[in-house]
Structure 1
Amino acid sequence: MKNIFVFGADEFNLSLMRSLEAAREYCFHELYQYAEVKTGKELPVKALYEGALERLERYPGSVDAIVGYWDFPVSTMLPILCQSQGLPSPCFEAVLKCEHKYWSRLEQRRVVPEFIPDFCAVDPFKDDYQQQITLDYPFWLKPVKAASSHLGFMVRNDSELEMVIEEIRKKIHCFAAPFNYLLQFADLPDDIAAIDGYHCIAEGIISHGQQCTLEGYVFDGKLCVYGAVDSIREGKHSSSFSRYQYPSSIPQPTQDKMIAVTERFLTYIGFDNGPFNIEYYWEEESDQIWLLEINTRISKSHCPLFRNVDGMSHHQIMLALALGKQPVFPHRQGPYRYAAKFMWRVHSDAMVNRVPTEQEVQAVTRRVAGTEIQLHIREGMHLSELNYQDSYSYEIAEVFIGGDSEQELLQKYRDVQQVLPLELISLS
């Protein structure tokens, strides 16, 4: 049996991993539970790192793999932990060249400049922050390290910039301080060492056209992309995602162009022996693609989608790579032709008056076939208490759905929303 330590384990993803045929040879250990890693107001990375090392050293058996499927701090810390145990992993500097938004753009500009927007670094704590910005309005402003679009804002004029800077100054520390702790483990160039977690990046607007995410990996220097997932927003000009849908509707020649750009960049930075997902925009009229960002992990949001369409969760990819093995993954062997993850969002603060019981949730999933529901709320809470939301909405639930057409996916989602006994009282 292989001992696999899961950093930030939660029951939903553990159940998906345990259902894999290969899992008969695995023994899963919770290095930390999700609640210990992601649910607090602070991210205690020093305690997590030192505690993880202690737990791994204390374990009497072999440590065969360490895995994680969450974003910061899990994805950022994994290569450091793997290196400490001599386990397969991308090197830490290559991971940072993806996850540090400013460093990543600098590296992209060196090798794929025609596929990225204009950008510049911004110190939000300096009085001359406005003079630091070399872009015209509108532009995006976001920390060099965050997650789930936290503190990401579209800025259209001077007054909005002033409000956004004030908000960032108040809240950037929750990611900046833990990110800076982890930066000490890297050999940073001088120009990057000067742009720490308390800095932001301003970027030109590229949110036009169709957005999709490539899921892939690099093993022994060879890149493989095994799926493309569309990221669909709530409205034409909305910054909040409404659903992820698989497989992508973007033409294969365009996907091939995205794959070629991905390979150029990841080869250039020396990323190897790890999974990734990379986000692009495609402008159909001009056939222009834009590279948005790179994540050095599988997307946990896509795991049920791959299981529904291809017949297996891509946890399989993550586990094989962590064990130093060439991944083997099926294609279109699942029960449905299409699958989606819907993000049930509310755009103003509200009090949660009633949350369905587990039995009521199960009754809905039996009634609407091919669905799974994960609630993020509890009775009596205000939606503003939810951690790490995007800047424009509150995500109250995730609904995973399989179907044989896009229309069937949408109808099933409407059915779930209508019959799930959930009550909110608006506070506006």
Structure 2
Amino acid sequence: MSRNIFILALEEQQRKELETLRHADELSFHGLLDVETLIEPESFSFNRLLEQARQELKQTTGSVGSVDAIIAHWDFPTSVMVPILCKEYSIPAPPLESVLKCEHKYWSRVEQKKAIPEHVPDFCSVDPFASDPLGQVTLDYPFWLKPVKAFSSQLGFKIENAEQFHAAIEETRQAIHHFGDPFNEALEHVDLPPEIRQANGNTCIAEQIISGRQGAPEGTMFQGEFNVHGVFDQPVDKGAMLFDRLEYPSSMPEGVQRRMIDASKRFLEHIGFDHGCFNAEFMWDEESDQLWLVEFNTRISQSHSEMFIMVDGMSNHEVAIDIALGQRPSMVNRQGQFPVAAKCLIPHKHEDAIVKRVPSQQELAELRERFPGTLIKLDIEPGMRLSDLPNQDSFSYHIGTIYLGADSHEELRERYRDCLDALHFEFDPVSQ
């Protein structure tokens, strides 16, 4: 009898990735709510989504029987919904409070400061609705200002003077409620310390600006046993042209990777995180050898899945399902088609436009034939307006993604450049 695995906002591409799992033929995969509902809504209520998920689980199990696992591979709200749903179905999952201690940027920094202070930049809480928000800032210019809960770099501002700060506060006041209100609903599910009750979902964090090369260990905590099954990095290219990509496995020095892994372990143990998956983002300043923690995510990363398949031969969904089924998590290693792989963004300058042309299916097929194993996902189509794209950052539009495999990190960069050159897009200016 097959076991029923429910995955929030499951996409068709991920269904194909799930076929790489060891016992895929013994598992039945079910989407739970869809991407439009969970990832791209114009507005949403956390509690309402939670109730929708409960109802859908109840309806589905009426026909399929049991709920054996519930998996998150997206950020809030799914990352917070899963531990609540799992508890209701007696499925192993991290304590909700430990998840929220990662999801809430300010609360997370407070806890990080207790466990791994040497990796934490200076920070402070800022209430954008206070009469004098600038008076709450304890950092020198320049610094970052961002909400305690947002998507990607949305409402993330580099602040260099008081004028920029006040302009950022105005913009933040207009838009922070999109995630802040539903995040406050999520926070109501736990008892908050007074300091965090005050720094609610509609507040911000100001942080010291850090720089360097990004690294990201992904791993698991199961019955108190910590394990890392992969380390990624985001190389910094020298020269005028920067290529925005994530590579696996990391080419960062082994000593730096060990320090990232050690810091991850200490922090997760400190907050009581167990029976769950994580990925952590660090920044290594090579010149000073300073390792900074950017943030913790309490889930596998679905954007890593294709790279795990290319290099290891199996999706990282394997470990998430293992844990949910109460089994010790394990992944195969280096059984894939390529020694290295990358997730590469297809960027477009941050200037609004109407999409006139995207690469044809024939052009994409020719590129896949030229570079076997390549997967290209376009997020735009003719007639779309770039400013209508959901969940974009403040610096550029991301109009698609390329997953590439290669024999070396150098070859990855060459293939990425060749793909960008070959992908032909056309845009019309937006009429005023």
Q: What is the distance in 1 between the residues matched to 2:51 and 2:239?
A: 45
Secondary structure, aligned partner of 2:33: strand
Task: Read off the aligned partner of 2:278 and give its amino acid letter.
Answer: F
Aligned to 2:118: 114
> Deviation digits for residues 159-188 of structure 1, max 9, x if unmatched?
211221111111111101111111111111
Q: What is the distance in 1 between the residues matched to 2:168 and 2:240?
A: 19
Query: Are the counterparts in 2 of residues 43 and 73 from structure 1 also a CA contact under 8 Å?
Result: no
Secondary structure, aligned partner of 1:137: coil
Q: What is the distance in 2 between the residues matched to 1:7 and 1:171?
A: 26
1:14 and 2:18 aligned? no
Query: Are the counterparts in 2 of residues 370 and 403 from structure 1 also a CA contact under 8 Å?
Result: no
Instruction: Specify whether residues 255 and 24 from structure 1 end up closer, same or farther in structure 2 by C-alpha distance, changes over 3 A only.
Output: same
> In terms of mean alpha carbon deviation, does 282-291 or 78-87 score higher?
282-291
Alpha-carbon shift at residue 241 of structure 1 (Å):
7.8
> Deviation digits for residues 40-66 of structure 1, max 9, x if unmatched?
212342322111112223423111010
Length-normalised TM-score, structure 1 = 0.95
Unaligned runs of 5+ in 2: none
Length-normalised TM-score, structure 2 = 0.94
Aligned to 1:213: 216
Query: Are the counterparts in 2 of residues 90 and 271 from structure 1 also a CA contact under 8 Å?
Result: yes
> Deviation digits for residues 89-125 of structure 1, max 9, x if unmatched?
0010000011100000111111211110110000111
Q: What is the distance in 1 between the residues matched to 2:136 and 2:291?
A: 28
Q: What is the distance in 2 between the residues matched to 1:410 and 1:115?
A: 30
Aligned to 1:185: 189
Aligned to 1:304: 306
Query: Are the counterparts in 2 of residues 368 and 416 from structure 1 also a CA contact under 8 Å?
Result: no
Aligned to 2:354: 351
Task: Read off the aligned partner of 2:267 and give its amino acid letter.
Answer: F
Alpha-carbon shift at residue 359 of structure 1 (Å):
4.7
Query: Are the counterparts in 2 of residues 402 and 409 from structure 1 also a CA contact under 8 Å?
Result: yes
The residue correspondences of 1:35-184 to structure 2 (distance < 5 A) are 35-58=36-59, 59-60=61-62, 61-184=65-188
Task: Read off the aligned partner of 2:347 and give its amino acid letter.
Answer: R
Query: Are the counterparts in 2 of residues 352 and 380 from structure 1 also a CA contact under 8 Å?
Result: yes
Secondary structure, aligned partner of 2:234: strand
Secondary structure, aligned partner of 1:212: strand
Find 1:330's aligned residue among 326, 332, 341.
332
Secondary structure, aligned partner of 2:23: helix
Q: What is the distance in 2 between the residues matched to 1:31 and 1:149?
A: 27
Instruction: Specify whether residues 234 and 388 from structure 1 end up closer, same or farther in structure 2 by C-alpha distance, changes over 3 A only.
Output: farther
Q: How many residues align?
A: 426
Q: What is the distance in 1 between the residues matched to 2:11 and 2:171?
A: 31
Q: What is the distance in 2 between the residues matched to 1:119 and 1:18?
A: 43
1:24 and 2:25 aligned? yes
Q: What is the distance in 1 between the residues matched to 2:235 and 2:390?
A: 22
Secondary structure, aligned partner of 2:244: strand
Alpha-carbon shift at residue 360 of structure 1 (Å):
4.0
Q: What is the distance in 2 between the residues matched to 1:289 and 1:361?
A: 39
> Deviation digits for residues 220-251 of structure 1, max 9, x if unmatched?
1011012111124678999x981001111111
> Deviation digits for residues 289-322 of structure 1, max 9, x if unmatched?
1111000011111111111112212111111112
Find 1:269's aligned residue among 265, 271, 279.
271
Aligned to 2:291: 289
Q: What is the distance in 2 between the residues matched to 1:237 and 1:226?
A: 34
Alpha-carbon shift at residue 374 of structure 1 (Å):
0.7
Q: What is the distance in 1 between the residues matched to 2:243 and 2:124?
A: 25
Secondary structure, aligned partner of 1:21: coil
Aligned to 1:203: 207
Alpha-carbon shift at residue 370 of structure 1 (Å):
2.4
Secondary structure, aligned partner of 1:62: coil
Find 1:409's aligned residue among 408, 412, 418.
412
Query: Are the counterparts in 2 of residues 368 and 415 from structure 1 also a CA contact under 8 Å?
Result: no
Secondary structure, aligned partner of 1:264: helix
> Deviation digits for residues 310-351 of structure 1, max 9, x if unmatched?
221211111111212111212222111111011111122221
Task: Read off the aligned partner of 1:352 and give its amino acid letter.
Answer: V
Q: What is the distance in 2 between the residues matched to 1:236 and 1:278?
A: 28
**Percent of aligned pairs with the same amino acid:** 46
Query: Are the counterparts in 1 of residues 20 and 314 from structure 2 also a CA contact under 8 Å?
Result: no
Q: What is the distance in 1 between the residues matched to 2:294 and 2:239?
A: 18
Secondary structure, aligned partner of 2:152: coil
1:371 and 2:381 aligned? no
Instruction: Specify whether residues 300 and 205 from structure 1 end up closer, same or farther in structure 2 by C-alpha distance, changes over 3 A only.
Output: same
Task: Read off the aligned partner of 2:208 and give its amino acid letter.
Answer: G
Query: Are the counterparts in 2 of residues 216 and 275 from structure 1 also a CA contact under 8 Å?
Result: yes
> Deviation digits for residues 177-205 of structure 1, max 9, x if unmatched?
11111111111111111111100000001
Query: Are the counterparts in 2 of residues 90 and 273 from structure 1 also a CA contact under 8 Å?
Result: yes
Unaligned runs of 5+ in 1: none
Alpha-carbon shift at residue 31 of structure 1 (Å):
1.3
Instruction: Specify whether residues 246 and 255 from structure 1 end up closer, same or farther in structure 2 by C-alpha distance, changes over 3 A only.
Output: same
